[in-house]
Amino acid sequence: MIRLTPYEQEMLDGKYGAAKQVALQKIIDYARILGAEELVPITKAHLCCGSTCEPSDFPDGNLDRPDILAMGYHDWQTKLKCPGMDPTTFNSFNESTFVIDDVHCCDTFQWQWTQQTREFYENNQHILADAAAHGVVIGSTCAPYLAGWLPVMGEYFVTTESSNVLYCNSVLGARGYGGGGNTTFCAAICGRAPKWGLHLPENRHGTHVFHLACDTKDKTDWDLLGAAVGRRLTPNAVPVICGDFERPDLIKLKSFFTALAVTSGCELCLIVGVSPEAQTYEMAMGGHEPVAEFTITNEILQSYWDEICCKVSGPADYLQIGCPNCSAEELVRIWRYMNGRKVKEGVRFCVFTNIAQYAMAEQSHIIQDLKDWGAEVLTSGCILRTINVAKGAKSIGLSSFKLCNGSKDERDCPIYYGSDEQVIDAAISGYWKVKRRYE
């Protein structure tokens, strides 16, 4: 039996409209499956609202057919209004829930550079306009905390983005877990989710301890560290990071969490001295003994570099930075590092950010400079999400373990992995020089 508050009972009785009634009933059904006994208020929701069709769904490469172009809109409408519900009864998402959209399969501003068709682009804009009309803030980002979507410690949230779950739980001390599209949409509509898992304080303690005896000086170190930790976790594990490591900043952490998320189902990582719930090792463990302990060395990090990076130097004609989406600070760093140097003719180099960071960088004249130097600044997606962006590439250079790992099986061409600086150097020279990361 799920205990409901008076407000929740009124919602279930239909007092606030059919949409919230149906959405809440689905959340209650979900809670019963999970074994939850009550619900929590969801004040932040992050979910996919744009076109959701993938290139892999259509091996013939024809993305212009009306049925394909309609897929995203149909998917959005189905989730939004719930199957079998009268669409005329839906007005907006829960008024107390701040909703922002996740990345989708189309750049926000342009279609030519990403090799999309105008029809596909305009269809996606139509889908997003429909979402905005129902109360969604269009941020189109896998890192909504860069766009003002910031749940504070103890605040309940839902998201469809695995690295976002980790960032909000681990760094902000918020309370949430990842969900599928339908459950996340329903939670956003009714403003409720099952009280379960990491919502409960008794589940928020360390289980697996990682002692760092490796380099932690830059983003690439933390990216590879995420893979090393993730590959050693069991389901429902909560890793604890400890040792004499250099304190990570936002840029390092979001890379770490992205690699950790793609190599495990982890949704909370306690970094001693960084996470609010892990100011000490004892605080992180909460009186529990570790299930397992590991020491991570440079040799281990090198093994993950070896796993995803092509071993033979060679030309590179598609280069990308921005997984997760770059912050304005990263755009400044890229701008400073390029410093007027131009991308080699015939090479395509892009940087993915979100709409908010793009606007700030544009006002700071960074966007125009990067464009003048041959770099394209895109929004929303990445090589794995933005349809056709790397179509025709003969070799690819990336600075994200997640993107390299995801691209290996999809593309029959050399995939290079390295730092942002290596990506930029390759974009300027048109050549990727392979060298071992750790000696």
Domains 6-199 and 310-432 belong to one CATH topology: yes
What pLDDT is recorded for position 61? Answer: 47
Average pLDDT over residues 279-301: 98
Q: Is the pLDDT of residue 83 over 70?
A: no
What pLDDT is attached to residue 209? 98
CATH class of 310-432: alpha beta
Determine which of 21-25, 49-53, 207-211, 279-283 has the lowest per-residue pLDDT on average. Answer: 49-53
pLDDT score at 60: 46
Phi first, then psi: what are they for 342, rounded to 5°? -105, 145
Q: Indicate the DSSP class of residue 340.
A: T
pLDDT tens string 103-150: 988 898 888 999 988 888 888 888 888 888 888 999 999 999 999 999
Residue from 49, 52, 48, 30 nearest 39 by CA: 30
User: Where are the extended beta strands (E) located within 43-93?
Assistant: 44-47
pLDDT (0 to 100) of residue 123: 84
Residue ranges of domains in the chain: 6-199, 205-306, 310-432
The predicted-structure confidence for 251-286, as pLDDT tens digits, reads as follows 999 999 999 999 999 999 999 999 999 999 999 999
CA 131 to chain centre: 19
Q: What b/e readout covers 308-344, taking b as 16+ CB neighbours within 10 angstroms? A: bbbeeeeebbbbbbbbbbbbbebbebbbeebeeeebb
3-state SS assignment for residue 432: strand
pTM across the whole model:
0.91
User: For residues 41 and 167, what is the distance between their CA atoms, to the nearest angstrom?
Assistant: 20
**For residues 303 and 87, what is the distance between their CA atoms, to the nearest angstrom?**
53
pLDDT tier at 77 (50, 70, 90 boundaries)?
Answer: low
pLDDT of residue 289: 98
What are the backbone angles phi and psi of residue 106, rounded to the nearest 5°?
-150, 135
> For the chain, how are helix, strand and coil distributed in percent, rounded to 5?
40, 15, 45
Q: How far apart are the first and last CA of the chain?
A: 59
The 3-state DSSP class for residue 141 equals coil
Average pLDDT estimate for 297-324:
96
Higher pLDDT, 409 or 8: 8
HSE-up of residue 97 (Cα within 13 Å, Cβ side): 31
CATH fold of 6-199: Aconitase; domain 3 (3.30.499)
CA 377 to chain centre: 18
